[in-house]
Structure 1
């Protein structure tokens, strides 16, 4: 078994164990391999090991490497998990199968126009600034109802919420809050949890976990 396959198997086993503890089905949890900053040579072994869901932070970086990577593997699902500039909405809608960082009015309007023009809508999640951190993207918790209402009025279907808890703080309360917000607004998706805390996220309702380091190794 390749090193990539071993890492993938370890992460999948950890997710499955957490799901079992939470009396959930592991198949209900989507593992997104965070491939941002990693080149094609680092990504291909994971594709060969069977991983199909990948997350990128930037439109330009994804556009440079994924058309070739996807050429022989049409069932790859590509997620945009980083902040999206409104002027890149057309490119993002064309390239990504999911955009998990919808966080402001101007982006809602840009995505609505881009989706109408393209005749397709990626899976959309609203990003919530769950820890109210100035440096992070995401809408404020208090602004979420208005953002969801605007998206609905614009013809966009928001399927879930995404959040990144503050670093170096116990993440469980933030995951619980995101789960509660999704429940309150009738949304099925909860994208939360990374390499260090994905098991906790699964225990608290995550439907998508975003794992980079545990799959690709620490960045040099």
Structure 2
């Protein structure tokens, strides 16, 4: 749990992030309405998230399915217009719960996961918009489909499984400049006819906006260090 002082700072930090997004959009000659702030609330308790909700933030990202399932139902009851994104890796045995809990899933990276989401979505008569996570740095330890395998996965998701793939997502390597990875994701989306880009976190969301991000995932700049 974060400290009381950090929680008290959340509305001010959130407003500062919003101002930075607006300034970055102006610099890039983009409409700020094109950029969605995904407030990353992973590891924070429900009471820590409330200040952001009370400040009007409605899009949140969580990394773990079970953690989100335990803390968000009560928050949703009080704030029913929340949009919850899964931004962490998904195991196929958690797919059914993920379909129940989340409004969007940003981390499809293989056919097995896509098939599980499609199966449970059909059973529940729902259609969850999804993103495909791309491993732009070709890091063996990191989730995400390879650049080379992305077209095939996208085709399978859309045409074989009937999923709505509305975007691509990436997490650049921590030890390399981020801009080439953001630019690569932008080119892939453009060439494959994908409209949305989830890229950029607390340390680099301004660069991501400059390079076309439609969703930026910001946690520590709002909630403080975990």
Counterpart position of 1:177: 184
Which of 119, 137, 155 is matched with 2:143 structurally?
A: 137
Q: How does 1:92-171 map to 2 (within 5 A)?
A: 92-152=98-158, 153-171=160-178
Distance 2:43 2:78 in 1: 22
Residue 69 of structure 2 is aligned to residue 66 of structure 1: no
Contact 2:85-2:106 at 8 Å conserved across structures: yes
Give CA deviations for 1:59-114 in whole Å, capped at 9, x if unaligned: 10000100011111110000000000011111111110000000001111111101
Structure 1 partner of 2:17: 11
Task: Verify: 1:203 aligned to 2:196, yes or no.
Answer: no
Q: Name the Cα RMSD after superposition.
A: 0.8
CA–CA distance in 1 between the matches of 2:82 and 2:222? 17
Which residue in the other structure is 1:193 paired with? 200
Normalised to the residue count of structure 1, the TM-score between the two structures is 0.97
Q: Structure 2 length normalisation: TM-score?
A: 0.95
State yes or no: 1:218 paired with 2:225: yes
3-state SS of 2:190 partner? helix
Q: Give CA deviations for 1:107-131 in whole Å, capped at 9, x if unaligned.
A: 1111110110111122200000011
When the two structures are aligned, how many residues end up with a matched partner?
218
Runs of 5+ consecutive residues of structure 1 not aligned to the other structure: none
Q: Deviations over 1:170-204 (max 9, x none)?
A: 10010000000000110111000000000000000
In structure 2, C-alpha distance between the alignment counterparts of 1:186 and 1:100, rounded to whole Å:
17
- Distance across 1 between alignment mates of 2:79 and 2:164: 27
What residue number does 2:47 align with? 41
Tell me the residue number matched to 1:20: 26
Q: How far apart in 2 are the matches of 1:16 and 1:172?
A: 19
Structure 2: any 5+ residue segments left out of the alignment?
1-7
**Structure 1 residue 168 displacement after superposition:** 2.7
Post-superposition CA distance 1:4-54 (Å, at most 9, x none): 111011000111111111110111100001100011111011101111000
